[in-house]
Amino acid sequence: MTTTGSTRRRGRRPGPRDTRGEIVAAARELFSTEPFDRVSLRAVARRAGVDPALVHHYFSGKAELFLTATVDISADPEQVLGMLDGIPSQRHGAALVLAFTAVWDTAGRDGRFTEFATVMLSNPDLTSGAREFITTQIGARVTALADPRERELRATLALSQMLGMAMMRYVLRMEPVASMERTRLAEVYGPTFQHYLTGRLSASERLNSSPPAQE
């Protein structure tokens, strides 16, 4: 076991110990060097220096831990969404594409998105964790300006296009999406995300009395 920059995370620090964070950090280290099937929760606990029962206390299983660790490593909401700060909301659609690809283009082309998607597909139980993550972490941030009754819908629509875009770009590698410049990608997908985040989703759901926009 080599010492890495994150070794300090396992040391005692002033204040309460962040056990969950230490487990995620340990999982991240193991998942980044070992295939999913070869990482055991026991090994994660050992690396984090905690009792294996604590891993089970914080996570429903290896799949959820993997999701959390992968998301933390490659799509930390703050890392992606922090890029939106200071950008006018009417340009969030394109900005979201640029932020997502900034984080995922390298890892995605290395096959990490494929691994991520495969684990999701083979672990239906993951979805409860994924759902909560998306609703609380991503949905709340990205749709902060939206009507609260529509936030979950808007977040789900945006996620569906992000997932599909990533599948085409990193997994199926279908052209022209696979090799497209990020700025061009933001140009073709931006309006869709913008529509999902701030657009009028349907006539029956108009939220104010202004006349319907010409779309």
- Contact residues: its own copies, CB under 8 A: 114, 117-118, 120-122, 124, 127, 130-131, 134, 152-153, 156-157, 159-165, 167-168, 171-177, 184, 187-189, 191-192, 195, 199, 201-202, 204, 213-215
Question: From CA 91, how far away is CA 191, in angstroms rounded?
Answer: 9
Nearer to its own copies, 55 or 71 (CB): 71
| For its own copies, the closer CB: 2 or 202 | 202
Smallest separation, CB 121 to its own copies (Å): 5
Encoded tokens for 183: 């700025």
In whole angstroms, the minimum distance from the beta carbon of 179 to its own copies comes to 11
Tell me whether residue 85 or residue 215 sits nearer to its own copies (CB atom): 215
Q: How far apart are CA 43 and CA 49, in angstroms?
A: 10
CB 21 to its own copies: min, Å? 26
Q: How far is the CB of 127 from its own copies (least distance, A)?
A: 5
Q: Please say whether the beta carbons of 94 and 187 come within 8 A.
A: yes
Q: Report, in Å, the least distance between residue 42 CB and its own copies.
A: 27
C-alpha span between 48 and 39 (Å, rounded) = 13
Residue placing its CB nearer to its own copies in the complex, 45 or 97 = 97
Distance CA 19, CA 12 (A): 11
Nearer residue to its own copies within complex by CB, 50 or 119 = 119
Angle, alpha carbons 203-205-210 (nearest 5°):
70
Go through 34-54 and write b for each residue having 16 or more CB atoms within 10 A of its CB, e for each that does not.
Answer: eebeebebeebbebbebeeee
Question: At residue 132, what are phi and psi to the nearest 5 degrees?
Answer: -65, -45
